[in-house]
Each structure stands twice: as C-alpha cells, then as structure tokens.
Amino acid sequence: MKNLLKKIGSKVSARLDDASKRQLPVQVQPRFTKMRHRQFPVMHCCIAYNKHGGYCVPLSSKHRPAARSIMNGKVFERKTILYITSHCGEGDIVHAGTYFGDFIPVFARACSDQGKVWAFEPNPENYACASITIQINQLTNVILTNAAVGEAAGTAEMKVNDKFGRSSGGGSSIVQKRKTTTKTIDIPVVAIDDVVPSDRHVSVIQLDVERYEGQALRGALSTIERCRPILMLENVPNDSWFAQHILAMGYEKQEEICGNTVFSV
C-alpha cells in the first residue's frame, strides 16, 4: 500500500498546483507498469476541489452523491459538517465511514491545536484515496485506520458493489447475514475503544457505517461513558442494548440533520 501511495502521490503532485489554479479535476489514468515481470495497477482517480480543500476521488464511484458533489466543486452534507465543526470544541472527532475523505479537511481544521480526527475506512480503494486527501491538504492531526469499527477486533465481509456491478463507494456495507450475490471482500474490524487512547477526550462520534452502528457503539462504550460525546448516527439501532446502554446514560435525541440523528446528554 505504501508503494502504491508513493506512485500515485508523485503523479498527482506534479500537476496539483496547475489544477488548483484552474479548479478542475486532475485525472490519473489507469495503466500498468511492468516491474520485475509483474504488473501493478495504478489507481483510477481524480483530484477535485471545493472551498474546504482538495480531494482524491475514486472514479469507480463517480456516480455516488458525495463524489459527484465534490467533483462539481460543491460541499456534500453542508449542515452535517456545520453541526460537527461547531460542536467539537477542544476535543477529538471520531469519524467512521470516511469514504475518500470528503469530510476530513474541514474536520481536521475545525479541531483545536491539540485536537485530532480519528478516521476509519475499511474499503481499500476508499482508504487509499482518503490517505491521499490527507496528504493533499497537509493534515497532521488525522489518524486514519484501514478498518471498519465494530464490537471487537476481527474480520468481516464487506459488499463493495451494487446490484449493477458498480462500486458502492461510501455505501459499501458489512454483510451481517450471508445472502448477497454481489462481490464481497474481507476487511479488518477494530473497536474504537482499542484505537482511541483513554487519555483522549472525544467531543463527537459520527458513525456513517451502513447499519453497523450498533456494533460500532458496543466497541466504543468505554469512550462514550468516559467522555459523553455527541453521537451522530446515520442509522439508530432499534434494540434493547441501545436503550439500556446509551439512552440509560442520559442521551436524548436532539435533531435530525441530513438523514443523521443527533444524540447528546
């Protein structure tokens, strides 16, 4: 992965300044480079911009809403960004479901001088693009992990294509009951409690993990009990565990923003 990022980074950086002046996406065309009688694919992506920074967008998911917005120079889920950046205060942001990093630049710059963004993205292509997004924006306070967030460390199957064979992009989801006939890949799973050190104060946990929020919250329970962060959930678990462990702490629903539900104490 490091070699792949180095290859992509050198190609992108050579044209980055010119692209930023023209405000146009830079396409990195796919090709194969022979090396020791083997072939290595070069990622098919583009560099695009909006008012918050530059982004490495995977062209395999250019049909997805977030990718389309960024490639058109717009901001995706502007109200979500505004809420989180105005409530992160002096603490850290946990951002699971990072995709290609469409929220990363603005989250990183909204943090205090000591604040960090703990970002998680299990899809390998999206993770590679998010890594380049971090480099493009020269961010030093983002800890990006190539894994899904769940109850405990392990592995899982992830569906990465839709029924038409197109990339699911940010909609890639963990297969909880094996019924799908679409392509899946094996991905690592980590618990937020195992990644975020116990001496870090977390202000916001934002989960966009395609109906895996219940498992992610189970793996973040110690952090939630310790910090009482704002919780922004794309899907709210409808089970007794959520009521007994999250709502029982005093969490209450505050509002809905761009399809996400906000809970705070």
Specify whether the CB–CB gap between 27 and 8 falls below 8 A: no
Q: Which residue has the higher pLDDT, 185 or 192?
A: 192
pTM (2 decimals)? 0.83
Please report, for the domain that includes residue 119, its CATH number. Answer: 3.40.50.150
pLDDT at 110: 98
> Is residue 10 assigned to a domain?
no
* Tens digit of each residue's pLDDT (9 = 90 or more) over 74-131: 999 999 999 999 999 999 999 999 999 999 999 999 999 999 999 999 999 999 999 9
- The sheet carrying 26-28 orders its strands as 26-28, 45-50, 53-58
> Is residue 45 assigned to a domain?
no
222's enclosing H/E stretch is helix 221-227
* Tens digit of each residue's pLDDT (9 = 90 or more) over 47-59: 999 999 999 999 9
> Is residue 154 assigned to a domain?
yes
Specify whether the CB–CB gap between 216 and 149 falls below 8 A: yes
Number of independent structural domains in the chain: 1
Distance from CA of residue 152 to its chain's centroid?
19
Q: Is 45 helix (H, G, I), strand (E, B) or coil?
A: strand
> Is residue 85 assigned to a domain?
yes
> Is residue 70 assigned to a domain?
no
Q: pLDDT-derived band of residue 178, with 50, 70 and 90 as boundaries?
A: low
* Tens digit of each residue's pLDDT (9 = 90 or more) over 200-258: 999 999 999 988 899 999 999 999 999 999 999 999 998 899 999 999 999 999 999 99
How many helices and strands in the chain, by DSSP H and E?
9, 16
Specify whether the CB–CB gap between 189 and 149 falls below 8 A: yes
Q: What is the mean pLDDT of residues 256-264?
A: 97
> Is residue 2 assigned to a domain?
no
Expressed as residue numbers, the domain containing 254 is 76-264
> Is residue 49 assigned to a domain?
no
> Is residue 23 assigned to a domain?
no
